[in-house]
Chains A and B, each alone.
Chain A
Amino acid sequence: MTEKALDVRDLVVRYSSRAVVDGVSFSLDPGDSFGIVGESGSGKSTVLRAIAGLATDRSGTIDVAGKRLGAKRDLAFCRLVQMVFQDPFGSLHPKQTVDRALAEPIAIHGLGDGERRIQEALDAVGLGRGFRFRYPHQLSGGQRQRVAIARALILEPKILLLDEPTSALDVSIQAEVLNLLKRLAAERGMTMLLVSHNLAVVAHMCERVAVMQSGVFVEEAPSSRFRSLKAEHPYTQTLLDASGGFRRGLAAGLVG
């Protein structure tokens, strides 16, 4: 049997004693792509932050590549799991050039051959030489997000956590970034865990989708199931209906 890439059991995360994530379980095989969709406050981003060790008040178990995670994340974990954040304007240090941002993980992990790694990472995300010594304010939103992806890739992780990676971008840039992520995940055989409020984005990127509401998964299904625009859970159905744009009848049913 193959070892699970990621196995989360009965995860509960609290922020000042309120359970934001209230008992979530799922597991991913290596190379899987899994999406969590939900509205703001559903707890979907908190699941990622708990795995990354950024949300500390948690119970339940998280196993990464067969190894149980404690409270602290060690260097080995960092080389296995990396994350891309929602806001490309907030996830890059404002006083550091692209070069410096990419050199940082190499320095921390004492990897040799920094020059080649940085160049390869930039090439992989489609940023040319001209971008290497720019500051974040000299980059557009899409370019920043590419830098953030390059930074995540430089440690050659096996698992990529994506927290709304395109929701701050224009739709045409979103398409480019999603294509990039999909290609990289396939090329490198990465396991992908994507969180978004946009059902269409999640269904496009992932084989399996969980719908999250108030800290729990209300429905979990292969993404192909959503293509018929029919769901089992009423909340999922609402999201499906709303994804088609504004409809008078739909709004009437929701007014309250």
Chain B
Amino acid sequence: MSDILLDVEDLRVRFPGLSGYTEAVRGLSFTLGRERLGIVGESGSGKSMTGRAILDLVPPPGEVTAKRMAFMGLDLLSMPHRERRALRGARMSMVMQDPKYSLNPVMTVGEQIAETWRIHNPGEAGQARERALAMLDAVRIRDPKHVYDLYPHEVSGGMGQRVMIAMVLVADPDLIIADEPTSALDVTVSMQVLAILDDLVSQRGLGLIFISHDLDLVRSFCDRVIVMYGGAVMETLNARDLDHAQHAYTKGLLNCLPRLDRVDANLPVFTRDPEWLK
């Protein structure tokens, strides 16, 4: 098993509060190869905090612990924050939900991509523009030269998200964590963004962690799915086996969606069992 990018065992994230600690993630274990792994859950399930913990982006006073957290053989737990930061952006990166808040408003999008290249390749700054244009092309932007000179407010949401992906790609990472990358986009646009992410995994051999609340989307896009609730893992299964999910929570989530091909007088609702968090 040399192709394991990320190996996480018993990951926990907790926050101190007025009445003791609140656990945001309670004992998550998984391995990630060069594949699309979906993490699905509702708000408060700890899915976003999992992505942040891997990237060392948990905001203080949050505390991250784990039995093991290794990225391509590197032990992330013993690594100082400075090295984690260097790793972040270079070999593992994140695509956020809303490009509006992730792009610098006073710099053209092309320059921002070029800047990322310069940071990670200080010796080859001269190639920055060329590389940035190539990346814009790689995320299928039709006229990269034109888009290079646009400011963030001049591009649409879908275009902005593609620019974000180009910015992540220019550093040539091995792992991308996408946190709800299409939730702020219209369905038609999100299909295009997903297609680009899909290519990255199949053509460049990246590992992708796809964090989403949308079970249907994850089912159709990912290879494997982790279902989280209240910080704990309910179930891990292959995406195509989701119809045969065992856990009551997963089944409940699948059933409560309105469906075009089914007529329901009422949508099935479910109650949460406190036992799930034991």
Contacts and interface: CB of A to CB of B under 8 A. Distances in A.
Direct contact of A and B (CB under 8 A): yes
Contacts, number: 101
A255 B188 contact: no
Interface string B244-278: 00000000110011111101101111100000000
Contacts of B192: 251, 254-256
Size band of the interface chain B makes with A: 35 or more
A179 B221 contact: no
Nearest to A201: B258
Contacts of B42: 170-173
A250 B192 CA distance: 9
Interface residues of A, number: 41
Contact of B43 (A141, A201, A239): A141
A227 B267 contact: no
Interface in A163-207: 170-176, 178-179, 182-183, 197-201, 203-205
Contacts of B253: 171-172
A252 B188 CA distance: 11
13 contacts: A39-B186, A39-B187, A40-B157, A172-B256, A175-B269, A176-B269, A201-B258, A242-B191, A245-B216, A251-B191, A251-B198, A254-B188, A256-B192
List 9 A-B pairs, minimum CB-CB distance, nearest first: A245-B220, A251-B195, A204-B258, A175-B256, A39-B186, A170-B42, A175-B267, A242-B187, A246-B220
Given A175-B267, A197-B187, A248-B195, 18 more contacts: A40-B157, A141-B43, A171-B42, A172-B253, A175-B256, A175-B257, A175-B269, A200-B259, A203-B258, A226-B260, A242-B190, A243-B187, A243-B260, A244-B220, A245-B219, A245-B220, A246-B217, A251-B194
Interface of B: 42-43, 140, 142, 157, 186-188, 190-192, 194-195, 198, 213, 215-217, 219-221, 252-253, 256-261, 263-264, 266-270
